[in-house]
């Protein structure tokens, strides 16, 4: 018997939910404490065992639920641990959780009461056994000839039965007969010297104060907010059902999530204040006959890196370069960050009981995230490998769409990157070198005789360091260069 994978569990859940539930059955325990919704084919056993409150079967598969003598969660834990030790003593194999390795699984009903169960098998049969509490009563359950995935799914179908209180019957008023003639003896006589005292609470007219009603509503809202805030008080974002490699991070995972949240706030905060910090530059007088200044503009929205340069005479050059390496690294990081945030939100909901979700739903989310994290790492390192193995190529086009120049990367160096620029018309060749692993960006341009033509260097070192960590933040940290030549 091999462990059933999480993917099989998800596929089984989809298959059962896609089945025709019009012929499915809902079974209720004999004491009306809980219900069990099952797919088509299951039926109640005619001669159930003694103390059984529900016994159903389908073919050679069978589920039996009996009453137990426990009244609290500690008793249930002791019983399931004793059963686990007995199963191991009989040399039967226990199937742990597919990604956490836990042998005893725990889920909770919508009422917050626990359900502990284990899955094990012998050479001939598969079993699932456990104990659960509903409305203060304890029950034991045994499933035979059901796979590990089927046991997880079907046990999640058990739900406490909602007791609907009967609506009180309205008492019809009886008919009162009034006599046609009243005699003097029928009328009570009040003496003149007697004082009639009526309580003020009975004679005063009750008036509803609008301010009191508003106050009650505000207090109700505050209580609700306090209740939700109390649930959100969690010491860590780590859930015991998360993948093991996440749980081993401990509070390091909390730190990573908070750093991601701070970066998102910083990113969109700079976007919000950007219109109030427009940079104004005092340009020197421009010679109308000169090609300078040359204005560069970067175009976004495509996988390629596109720059457009326009000189003072109206000539336009467009630079086009593929950047699949950066795209892969960006997608890998986005996938890792989104998966981490989803794990954190799921853990907060599970620990604080914010959403009425079953343990099966939480385990499925954790299982999917445990697959997405390695996928994000693989995608990110694919981009890293691409950037180190594939040489860059940049094409420059003129106004007519013809290729004006081509820039080719010539190999990789430990400290420098080397590029060559080929001009289509003049056939001139220039060499450009760029420093690697430098705080500030810098380039040097040489002619065919290796004479230095220009030295381009970024001005601010601190801005370069911050930009490496946070990006240019909507232009706040864009680089300024000094060109010497």
Give pLDDT tens digits for 286-326: 777 777 788 888 887 777 888 888 888 888 888 888 888 88
For residue 82, the model assigns a pLDDT of 92
For residue 201, the model assigns a pLDDT of 44
- Average confidence (pLDDT) over 390-397: 87
- Average confidence (pLDDT) over 265-282: 81
Q: Can you tell me the distance from the alpha carbon of 234 to that of 352, in angstroms, rounded to the nearest whole number?
A: 7
Which run of H or E residues covers position 120?
A: strand 114-121
Q: Decide: 455 and 461 in contact? Cβ < 8 Å.
A: no
Q: Decide: 436 and 466 in contact? Cβ < 8 Å.
A: no
Give the alpha-carbon dihedral of 469, 474, 476, 482, to 10 degrees.
Answer: 90
The neighbour count for residue 107, using CB atoms within 10 Å, is 21
Calculate the CA 329 to chain-centre distance: 21
Residues 6+ apart with CB under 8 A from 405: 395, 396, 421, 422, 423, 424
In our burial notation (b when 16+ CB lie closer than 10 A, e otherwise), range 143-153 reads bebbbbbbbbb
The neighbour count for residue 395, using CB atoms within 10 Å, is 15
For residue 202, the model assigns a pLDDT of 46
Cβ neighbourhood burial of 133 (10 Å; 0-12, 13-18, 19+):
buried
**Residue 138 DSSP symbol:** E
Asked whether residue 163 carries a pLDDT value surpassing 70, the answer given is no
For residue 229, the model assigns a pLDDT of 55
For residue 171, the model assigns a pLDDT of 55
Which run of H or E residues covers position 163?
A: none
Q: Say which range, 272-281, 374-383, 446-455, has the weakest mean pLDDT.
A: 272-281
Q: Decide: 392 and 421 in contact? Cβ < 8 Å.
A: no
For residue 232, the model assigns a pLDDT of 55
Closest by Cα among 108, 102, 65, 63 to 84: 102
* CA dist list (Å): 343 to 260, 367, 370, 374: 13, 10, 9, 14
Question: How confident is residue 189, by pLDDT bands cut at 50, 70 and 90?
Answer: very low
Q: Decide: 69 and 84 in contact? Cβ < 8 Å.
A: no
For residue 378, the model assigns a pLDDT of 95
The mean pLDDT value of the chain amounts to 79
Greatest Cα pair distance in the chain: 139
For residue 62, the model assigns a pLDDT of 93
Q: Can you tell me the distance from the alpha carbon of 104 to that of 128, in angstroms, rounded to the nearest whole number?
A: 11
For residue 208, the model assigns a pLDDT of 53
User: What is the reported pTM?
Assistant: 0.52
Supply the angle between the helices 324-352 and 359-389 in degrees, to the nearest 10: 160
Asked whether residue 148 carries a pLDDT value surpassing 90, the answer given is no
Q: Can you tell me the distance from the alpha carbon of 255 to that of 239, in angstroms, rounded to the nearest whole number?
A: 15
Which run of H or E residues covers position 406?
A: strand 403-412
For residue 169, the model assigns a pLDDT of 58
Question: How confident is residue 357, by pLDDT bands cut at 50, 70 and 90?
Answer: confident
- Main-chain dihedrals φ then ψ at residue 101, nearest 5 degrees: 80, 0
- Main-chain dihedrals φ then ψ at residue 28, nearest 5 degrees: -115, 140
Q: What pLDDT, in 10s, does the model give residues 44-77? A: 998 888 889 999 999 899 999 999 999 888 899 9
Asked whether residue 142 carries a pLDDT value surpassing 90, the answer given is yes
Calculate the CA 361 to chain-centre distance: 12
Give the alpha-carbon dihedral of 140, 144, 147, 150, to 10 degrees.
Answer: -50
Cβ neighbourhood burial of 129 (10 Å; 0-12, 13-18, 19+):
buried
The token pair at 27 is 């079974």
Q: Say which range, 77-91, 141-155, 175-189, 229-243, has the weakest mean pLDDT.
A: 175-189
């Amino acid at each position: 018997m091999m462990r059933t994978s999480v993917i099989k569990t998800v596929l089984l859940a989809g298959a059962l939910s896609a089945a025709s539930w019009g012929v499915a059955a809902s079974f209720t325990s004999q004491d009306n404490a809980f219900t069990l919704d099952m797919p088509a084919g299951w039926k109640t056993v005619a001669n159930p065992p003694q103390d059984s409150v529900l016994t159903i079967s389908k073919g050679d598969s069978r589920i039996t639920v009996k009453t137990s003598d426990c009244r609290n969660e500690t008793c249930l834990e002791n019983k399931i641990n004793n059963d686990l030790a007995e199963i191991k003593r009989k040399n039967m194999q226990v199937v742990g959780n597919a990604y956490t390795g836990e042998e005893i699984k725990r889920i909770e009903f919508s009422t917050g009461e626990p359900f502990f169960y284990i899955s094990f098998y012998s050479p001939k049969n598969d079993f699932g056994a456990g104990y659960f509490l509903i409305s203060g009563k304890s029950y034991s359950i045994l499933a035979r000839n059901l796979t590990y995935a089927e046991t997880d799914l079907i046990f999640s179908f058990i739900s406490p039965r909602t007791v609907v209180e009967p609506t009180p019957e309205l008492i019809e008023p009886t008919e009162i007969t009034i006599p046609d003639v009243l005699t003097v003896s029928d009328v009570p006589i009040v003496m003149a010297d007697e004082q009639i005292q009526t309580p003020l609470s009975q004679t005063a007219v009750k008036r509803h104060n609008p301010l009191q009603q508003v106050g009650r509503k505000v207090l109700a809202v505050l209580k609700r907010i306090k209740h939700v805030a109390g649930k959100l008080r969690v010491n860590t974002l780590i859930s015991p059902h998360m993948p093991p490699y996440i749980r081993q991070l401990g509070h390091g995972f909390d730190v990573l999530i908070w750093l991601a949240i701070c970066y998102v706030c910083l990113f969109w905060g700079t976007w919000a204040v950007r219109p109030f910090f427009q940079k104004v530059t005092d340009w020197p007088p421009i010679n109308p006959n000169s090609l300078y200044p040359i204005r560069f503009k970067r175009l976004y929205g495509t996988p390629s890196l596109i720059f457009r340069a326009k000189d003072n005479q109206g000539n336009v050059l467009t630079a086009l370069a593929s950047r699949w390496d950066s795209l892969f690294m960006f997608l890998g990081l986005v996938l890792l960050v989104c998966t981490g945030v989803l794990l954190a939100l799921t853990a907060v909901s599970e620990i604080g009981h914010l959403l009425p979700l079953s343990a099966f739903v939480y385990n499925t989310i954790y299982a999917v995230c445990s697959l997405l994290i390695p996928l994000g790492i693989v995608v990110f390192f694919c981009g890293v490998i691409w950037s180190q193995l594939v040489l860059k190529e940049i094409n420059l086009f003129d106004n007519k769409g013809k290729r004006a120049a081509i820039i080719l990367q010539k190999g990789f160096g430990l400290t420098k990157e080397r590029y060559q620029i080929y001009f289509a018309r003049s056939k001139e060749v220039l060499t450009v070198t760029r420093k690697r692993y430098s705080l500030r960006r810098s380039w040097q341009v040489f002619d065919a005789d290796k004479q230095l033509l220009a030295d381009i260097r970024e001005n601010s070192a601190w801005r370069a360091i911050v930009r490496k960590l946070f990006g240019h933040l909507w232009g706040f940290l864009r680089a300024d260069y000094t060109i010497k030549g």
